[in-house]
Amino acid sequence: MPLSPFALERYFAQHEFTARYLLSSSDCETLSQSDLLGMADTKTRLLWEHLRLGYTESPGHPLLRQEIANLCKTVWPDDVLVLAPEEGIFVAMNTLLQEGDHAIVMTPAYQSLYQIAESLRADVSRWQLETDGVRWKLDLTALARLVRPTTKLLIINVPHNPTGFHIDAETQEQIIQFAREKRLILFSDEMYRFSEYTAEMRLPAACDLYDQAITLGGLSKSFGLAGLRIGWLACKDRTIIRRFQRFRDYTTICNSAPAEILAAMALRSRDRILDRTRTIIENNLAAADQFFANHHRHFEWIRPMAGPVAFPRLKGTDSIDRFCEKLIQSKSVLLVPGSIFDFPDNHFRIGLGRRNLEEGLEKLGEFLVEHYV
Ligand SMILES: Cc1ncc(COP(=O)(O)O)c(C=O)c1O
């Protein structure tokens, strides 16, 4: 079955490099190459200076895989395959699913988390996040109702894009226990790990807790390094990792050599980079709290629990699609309407990881005054 267009990526392709205020980005403020090189230690600096631009080791540079394994407790470098994050989803779904299999996907979702499964003619059920207007909730009893004898894969994403929903360690344990009992493979999209608001909220990588769990991680979001195109799949079942590797020979074969060394530099300086991310998000959250309190007549602010995105709701009768279109035309401010996530009810995604959020909010405030008073 052909793949449907990726609505979010097409929307960004149209606006990302022309809109002046990107108020909806999910990646955090980008680091420059010189920022990163300035953080290099002797080892990575030497690797950079002597770098040869040939093909690289297909699972990923050994030092980089070691640094990724260090983000987990019980994972070894050989349990890790380095690839672009989006490629990781494509490789995993194509390897694990075939026609007739059933997958359950936490929804709303980053489109490839369900679209690739559907294109493979797998049956996909949505495990729906719900809101009471104050916070997002996930019903574990609904998960039990969705499971079938053919269910092969459970796909989760926390911290969650686009809602900013997060779970606690006990809920993570319950989900893993459920997957274990039902013999499901758990695909855990952890692209927003490390952008929790406190250290206590950070969950273990799912691949540490269950040998049939696959963690998808990457440097695009919390690390502000989307342009490196470096992410990883980690799983303690090496037969799964080997299958991924065999499929990956048909996508990119291996990673960009400079990106791998820059990624290793970033992971070896992760405390500095992540402190910077947390400070930016913390300041932006305070600004967003204030903005939405001031404009409660127009918006329902559902405060995110973790990560750099939130999914508030526009009140009133105007559709969020029209609102976003008018906003970009009159103020060059980009917000992503919930329809792009195939989600009803006038929600929109706002990004909290960029330094110019307050300027964007100011423009949004002007727009409200000009069009909605
Ligand atoms: C939940 C989730 N998973 C995976 C990805 C893919 O990451 P990348 O764009 O770096 O390939 C994204 C990107 O927005 C995402 O939000």
Inter-residue long-range contacts of 301-304, CB under 8 Å, 24+ positions, other chains counted: 302/131, 302/133, 302/134, 302/135, 302/136, 302/163, 302/164, 303/135, 303/164, 304/159, 304/163, 304/164, 304/165, 304/166, 304/352
Interval between CA 113 and ligand 1 midpoint (Å)? 10
What are the b/e assignments for 118-132, b being 16+ CB within 10 Å?
bbbebbbbebebebe
Strands 213-218, 185-189: pairing is parallel
Interval between CA 216 and ligand 1 midpoint (Å)? 9
Interval between CA 297 and ligand 1 midpoint (Å)? 32
Which residue has a Cα nearest atom 15 of ligand 1?
Answer: 110
Interval between CA 322 and ligand 1 midpoint (Å)? 26
Q: Across-strand partners of 154?
A: 104, 186
Pocket of ligand 1 (CB under 6 A): 26, 84-86, 110, 157, 161, 189, 191, 218, 220, 226
pLDDT of residue 270: 98
Residue 137 has pLDDT above 80, yes or no: yes
Label residue 126 by pLDDT band (50, 70, 90). Answer: very high
Strands 299-300, 21-22: pairing is unpaired
**Global confidence as pTM:** 0.98
CATH classification (class only), 33-269? alpha beta
**Ligand 1 test: best mutation among 82, 161, 311, most atoms within 8 Å of CB?**
161
Q: Which atom of ligand 1 is nearest to the CA of 219?
A: 10
For residue range 177-234, list pLDDT tens digits in order.
Answer: 999 999 999 999 999 999 999 999 999 999 999 999 999 999 999 999 999 999 999 9
CA angle 253, 259, 260 (to 5 degrees): 70
CA distance 150 to 110: 23
Q: Which atom of ligand 1 is nearest to the CA of 162?
A: 16
Q: Which atom of ligand 1 is nearest to the CA of 84?
A: 11
Interval between CA 40 and ligand 1 midpoint (Å)? 26
Domain boundaries, the chain: 7-31+271-371, 33-269
Residue 66 has pLDDT above 80, yes or no: yes
- The sheet with strand 213-218 has its strands ordered as 80-83, 231-234, 213-218, 185-189, 151-157, 102-107, 123-128
CA distance 61 to 111: 29
For residue range 264-314, list pLDDT tens digits in order.
Answer: 999 999 999 999 999 999 999 999 999 999 999 999 999 999 999 999 999
Beta strands in 184-302 (DSSP E): 185-189, 213-218, 231-234, 299-300
Interval between CA 369 and ligand 1 midpoint (Å)? 34
Interval between CA 295 and ligand 1 midpoint (Å)? 30
Interval between CA 55 and ligand 1 midpoint (Å)? 25
On the question of a common fold for 7-31+271-371 and 33-269, the answer reads no
Q: Which atom of ligand 1 is nearest to the CA of 157?
A: 1
Which residue has a Cα nearest atom 6 of ligand 1?
Answer: 86
Q: Give the CATH number of domain 7-31+271-371; options: 3.30.420.40, 3.40.50.9100, 3.40.50.300, 3.90.1150.10.
A: 3.90.1150.10
Interval between CA 191 and ligand 1 midpoint (Å)? 6
**Ligand 1 test: best mutation among 24, 155, 187, 220, most atoms within 8 Å of CB?**
220
Residue 62 has pLDDT above 80, yes or no: yes
pLDDT of residue 181: 98
For residue range 76-101, list pLDDT tens digits in order.
Answer: 999 999 999 999 999 999 999 999 99
pLDDT of residue 2: 85
Q: Which atom of ligand 1 is nearest to the CA of 85?
A: 11
